[in-house]
């Protein structure tokens, strides 16, 4: 087992091994080979059955498409045959778990599959920029792509359930953690970069009733002009505050249920072609919507978005309030924790205002994981220091201000048990889980029919697949 991979997930140029693939693909649940169903012209192959596991087959196209996907990512070392062999072993593992799921009657319901499909499709739409760009690139509509991905996603979700069950009860003791760390060669112990722990006090200036009325009246005026014959698209280009759709005349492209604001969807899906809605209130602001086209559970609409704004005077007031609070804290007139409880308008008051890292779920951040403005501010601060008020965009995209406390700041160092115990515990647990998975594979492979074609029998496999 390659310990370096487990603990150095920042390495960009890695040599893919079966263990690495399994950890990356299955344990973390991040793998998604889009090219499995979207044929590429780069290399054409004659498809064939490469392996059989129970009643499940692995095709040459499965291996080839995943190989192309890895190669497109760049920075992967190793010969083509070696990588294909390693991909095949991952496929064998997944098919083995699917076979076990049949024995254990493990299933995923259609709602779960649909939800995961929508999430992944939206992720890829975001990467391409627009739905149209993605459809043009692959030469398929969203419903066509969704239909082709359905069974692949379902199989991956079933396999993930089986794997979760295999390692569900795996834990590590303090002695195991220490033993694991001591087993890492000294030249493989990773360098831990500077890390920060930050707490905040937030002030969100309210949007005045007058401002909300003003925006609604402006939107009603635009709706009236459109109903009298002016172009919805032109009004969207001129007035909409949605930067993504305004330049396209307000057109969003096709979206399925669960992909837009609930309030927006509730109205949009009821509209007839060409019909224009009344004002719809969402987190983003106020909208009017026009139906362009509906295809089954997908709709394409235009919208005009106008968002009420916090007045400059109210923003300045919030900034001054935080200035005063910072002065009180610096003078020890009130503790930061007490000030959070008394003054902060964020949702993290119960944790003393600690920011939570969305990438890890912990309260520790690396510099690149922080908002650029916060990163710039804390870089100049000392531990225990309070910042001046800093502009903030809330999760609801509202203007606000915050002051931050730099609670902890580490210096770059080699990982050690004193400073990095929680990280090392995670590494040790992952290592133990991998060993449990390896044992499971070795046991189940002996009980399950596995056949691999001659072309792949000379691969160097991590496990004994009972090759015939």
**pLDDT value at residue 328:** 96
**pLDDT value at residue 113:** 86
Residue 167 and residue 26 in contact, taking contact as beta carbons nearer than 8 Å? no
d(CA 400, CA 370): 17
How does strand 365-366 pair with strand 195-203?
Answer: antiparallel
The CATH class for the domain spanning 194-207+311-411 reads alpha beta
Among 76, 96, 64, which residue's Cα sits nearest to residue 17?
76
**pLDDT value at residue 182:** 95
Q: Which residues contact 310 (CB under 8 A, 6 or more apart)?
A: 205, 206, 207, 398, 399, 400
**pLDDT value at residue 73:** 59
**pLDDT value at residue 29:** 36
**pLDDT digit of tens for each residue in the chain (468 aa)?**
333 223 333 222 333 333 433 433 333 333 334 444 444 444 445 679 999 998 889 999 888 877 876 776 554 555 678 888 989 999 999 999 998 998 889 888 888 888 888 888 877 777 777 777 777 887 888 778 888 888 888 988 999 999 999 999 999 999 999 999 999 999 999 999 999 999 999 999 999 999 999 999 999 999 999 999 999 999 999 999 988 789 889 998 888 877 788 999 999 999 999 999 999 999 889 999 999 998 878 899 999 999 999 999 999 999 999 999 999 999 999 999 999 999 999 989 989 999 999 888 889 999 888 888 898 999 889 999 999 999 998 877 788 999 999 999 999 999 999 989 988 999 999 999 999 999 999 889 888 899 999 888 888 888 888 655
**pLDDT value at residue 65:** 78
d(CA 176, CA 33): 35
How does strand 14-15 pair with strand 76-77?
Answer: parallel
**pLDDT value at residue 4:** 28
Please tell me whether the overall predicted TM-score, pTM, comes out greater than 0.85 for this model.
no
Backbone angles phi, psi at 305, to 5 degrees: -110, 130
**pLDDT value at residue 61:** 85
Looking at the chain, the number of H-run helices and the number of E-run strands are: 16, 15
Give Cα separations from 424 to 171, 177, 300 (angstroms). Answer: 13, 7, 49
The topology under which CATH files domain 3-190+418-456 is Triger factor/SurA peptide-binding fold (1.10.4030)
Residue ranges of the chain assigned to CATH 3.10.50.40: 194-207+311-411, 209-306
* DSSP letters for 157-174: HHHHHHHHHHTTT----H
Per DSSP, the three-state class of 203 is strand
Residue ranges of the chain assigned to CATH 1.10.4030.10: 3-190+418-456
209-306: CATH architecture = Roll (3.10)
**pLDDT value at residue 103:** 87
């Amino acid at each position: 087992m390659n310990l370096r991979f487990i603990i150095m997930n920042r390495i960009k140029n890695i040599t893919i091994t079966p263990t690495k693939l399994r950890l990356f693909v299955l344990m973390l649940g991040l793998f998604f080979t889009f090219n499995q169903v979207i044929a590429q012209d780069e290399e054409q192959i004659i498809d064939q059955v490469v392996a059989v596991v129970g009643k499940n087959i692995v095709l040459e196209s499965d291996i080839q498409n995943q190989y192309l996907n890895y190669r497109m990512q760049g920075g992967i070392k190793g010969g083509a045959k070696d990588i294909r062999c390693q991909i095949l072993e991952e496929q064998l593992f997944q098919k083995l778990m699917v076979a076990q799921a049949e024995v254990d009657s493990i299933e995923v319901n259609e709602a779960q599959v649909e939800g995961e499909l929508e999430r992944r499709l939206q992720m890829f739409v975001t990467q391409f920029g627009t739905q149209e760009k993605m459809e043009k690139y692959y030469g398929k509509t969203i419903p066509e792509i969704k239909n082709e991905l359905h069974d692949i996603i379902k199989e991956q979700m079933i396999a993930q359930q089986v794997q979760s069950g295999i390692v569900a009860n795996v834990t590590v003791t303090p002695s195991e953690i220490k033993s694991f760390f001591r087993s890492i060669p000294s030249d493989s112990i990773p360098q831990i970069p500077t890390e920060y722990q930050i707490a905040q006090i937030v002030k969100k200036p309210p949007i005045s009733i007058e401002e909300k009325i003003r925006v609604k009246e402006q939107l009603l005026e635009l709706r009236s002009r459109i109903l009298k014959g002016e172009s919805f698209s032109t009004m969207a280009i001129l007035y909409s505050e949605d930067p993504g759709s305004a330049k396209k005349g307000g057109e969003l492209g096709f979206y399925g249920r669960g992909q837009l604001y609930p309030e927006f969807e509730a109205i949009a899906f009821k509209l007839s072609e060409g019909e224009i809605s009344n004002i719809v209130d969402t987190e983003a602001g106020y909208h009017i919507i026009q139906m362009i086209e509906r295809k089954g559970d997908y709709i394409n609409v235009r919208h005009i978005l106008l968002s009420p704004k916090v007045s400059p005077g109210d923003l300045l007031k919030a900034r001054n309030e935080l200035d005063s609070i910072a002065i009180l804290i610096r003078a020890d007139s009130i503790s930061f924790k007490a000030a959070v409880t008394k003054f902060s308008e964020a949702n993290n008051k119960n944790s003393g205002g600690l920011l939570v890292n969305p990438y890890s779920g912990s309260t520790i951040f690396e510099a690149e994981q922080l908002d650029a403005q916060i990163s710039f501010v804390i870089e100049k601060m000392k531990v225990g220091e309070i910042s001046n008020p800093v502009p903030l965009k809330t999760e609801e995209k509202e203007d606000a201000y915050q002051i931050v406390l730099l609670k902890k700041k580490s210096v770059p160092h080699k990982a050690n048990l004193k400073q990095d115990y929680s990280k090392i515990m995670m590494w040790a647990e992952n290592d133990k889980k991998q060993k449990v998975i390896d044992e499971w594979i070795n046991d189940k492979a002996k009980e399950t029919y596995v056949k691999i074609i001659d072309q792949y029998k000379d691969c160097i496999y991590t496990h004994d697949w009972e090759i015939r």
